[in-house]
């Protein structure tokens, strides 16, 4: 199976960042889907550009922060929220500190669970990056957003 990468940038219009009166700062979300061997990896990056579009004022993993503050200024807040939901559930799905049974720990500080073992599969929390497959419905939505055929047969069920 060949490795492929699909990428698309979504433009959500300009916002008035940092209390400015004029909307001069473009908001973008870039979604990426990588197909590597038997894995499908999803990521999202958010960016708010400066007025001259030469540098970001804020970027990377601020998808939810941008939405919380600027949702009312976005051109398509419902699309942004849809992508944000995909990001919350699936972003960097190949870099989980815990197994599927330990997923509940991931929102808590690592130090609290660094010695935890899973009772079901005996995996030691944080000893490796664990891959979590993308839910089939989410993968279908991601592929539709990217305008690519749905990737079948790998990485699509939990």
Report pLDDT for 113: 74
Burial annotation 124-144 (CB, 10 A radius, 16+ → b, else e): ebbeeebebbbbeebbebbbe
pTM: predicted TM-score of the whole model, two decimal places:
0.83
> Do you know the residue count of the chain?
158
Specify which residues 7 forms β-bridges with.
32
Burial category of 66 from C-beta neighbours within 10 Å (exposed 0-12, middle 13-18, buried 19 and up): buried
Q: Given a cut of 90, is residue 22 above it in pLDDT?
A: yes
Q: Given a cut of 60, is residue 24 above it in pLDDT?
A: yes
Report pLDDT for 84: 96
Tens-place pLDDT, residues 92-113: 888 888 887 887 766 676 667 7
Tens-place pLDDT, residues 40-61: 999 999 999 999 999 999 998 8
């Amino acid at each position: 199976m060949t490795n492929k990468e699909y990428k698309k940038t979504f433009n959500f219009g300009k916002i008035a960042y940092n209390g400015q009166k004029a909307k001069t700062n473009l908001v973008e979300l870039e979604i990426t889907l990588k197909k590597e061997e038997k894995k499908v990896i999803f990521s999202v990056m958010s960016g708010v550009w400066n007025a001259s579009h030469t540098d970001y004022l804020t970027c990377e993993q601020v998808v939810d922060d941008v939405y919380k503050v600027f949702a009312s200024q976005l051109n398509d807040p419902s699309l942004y929220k849809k992508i944000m939901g995909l990001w919350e559930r699936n972003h960097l799905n190949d870099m989980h500190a815990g197994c599927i049974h330990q997923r509940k720990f991931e929102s808590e500080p690592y130090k609290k669970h660094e010695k935890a073992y899973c009772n079901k599969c005996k995996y030691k929390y944080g000893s490796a990056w664990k891959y979590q497959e993308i839910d089939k419905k989410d993968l279908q939505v991601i592929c539709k957003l990217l305008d690519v055929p749905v990737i079948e047969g790998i990485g699509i069920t939990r």
